[in-house]
Amino acid sequence: MESYAQITRKKGVGIVLTGVYVIWLREIKRFWRDTPRRIGAFVQPIVYLFLLGTGLQAAFKVFGSTNTKYVLFMFPGIVGMTVLFTSVFSAISILWDREFGFLKEVLVSPVPRSSVAFGKIIGGATTALMQALVLLILAFLPTFFGFSLSTLWKIVLLIPVILLLSISMTSLGVALAARMTSFEGFPIVMNFILMPLFFLSGAMFPLQGLPNWMNVLTKINPLTYGIDIIRGIALKGTNISSGIGPSIKLPKDILSKVPIQVLKELKASLPSAPKIVIQRYSTWTDILVMAGFGLILLLIAIYQFTRQD
């Protein structure tokens, strides 16, 4: 027969898992029942992707190809942007719960506070993953990668990577929201932190030819490694920089009189167009940095949440 300690331990584990499940389910239901939030969360990244991607298409001419699709390069960055903002801002529910008294009821229940914090983190990460999956479906369009087994395999590989990034970013939001009391101040503080993280991650532009000080900031930015591995998986086998190389701009009548050998030598002497680096770091480096950063933030978030009054 089981001892009293074993029965108590099982009940304790059951309470912890129940607490995580209930909080997670509540976060999912709140997101799904909030129709304006759901529609806005799905439409906003698509608007960014097509309008901004099309508008900045001309910027890629400096990479030697007028045929390069900036929207294709930008696609993984928009996926990362969606995960970042959805994950972090999901923690605002903590302030709502504190404002209306729900958080006090949860904290005085037998459920451990650590399970409440973990449920919040998993719930926010799940909503971010759901939004990212909507964007990943667009990868099957001919504009991006087309409908193929290769595209399907890329999406399968991206799901655990996005989930890992979502947990890390949600932990950041929970860690900050757990110690904040001002509902109005949360978006201001979050934007102050998130915008530098986003713009220094390489989501919108290649991290090449940057000043030394900015290059250092990109390397200590944890989101950089998340965007790097997402782009590495999504654009694998895609040559973003392919297209027109160095050319000699002369009138056609003069160009036709120049010997072919001379033209070859002239082209060889011209500086080649810079090539876009798809993935700057190795896959394992990206995973280890994301996992380490996520674990540290997860522990900080749980610790901050357990100190709730």
pLDDT digits (tens, 9 = 90+) for 185-233: 777 888 888 888 888 888 888 887 788 888 899 999 989 999 999 998 9
Encoded tokens for 126: 């799940």
Residue of 234, 10, 193, 17 whose CA lies nearest to 89: 193
d(CA 302, CA 309): 14
pLDDT band at 273 (very low <50, low <70, confident <90, very high): low
* 251 CB burial (10 A radius; 0-12, 13-18, 19+): exposed
Burial (CB count within 10 angstroms: exposed 0-12, middle 13-18, buried 19+), residue 277: middle
The pLDDT of residue 227 is 92
pLDDT band at 72 (very low <50, low <70, confident <90, very high): confident
Burial class (CB in 10 A: 0-12, 13-18, 19+), 286: buried
Residue 282: which pLDDT band, with cuts at 50, 70 and 90?
confident
Burial of residue 31, with CB atoms counted within 10 A of its CB: 0-12 exposed, 13-18 middle, 19 or more buried: buried
pLDDT in tens, 240-253: 654 444 555 555 55
CA distance 274 to 208: 9
Check pLDDT > 90 for residue 68: no
Of 19-28, 222-231, 250-259, which has the strongest mean pLDDT?
222-231
User: Which 3 state secondary structure label does DSSP give 208?
Assistant: coil
d(CA 277, CA 225): 14
pLDDT at 162 over 90: yes
Token output for 215 = 């290059």
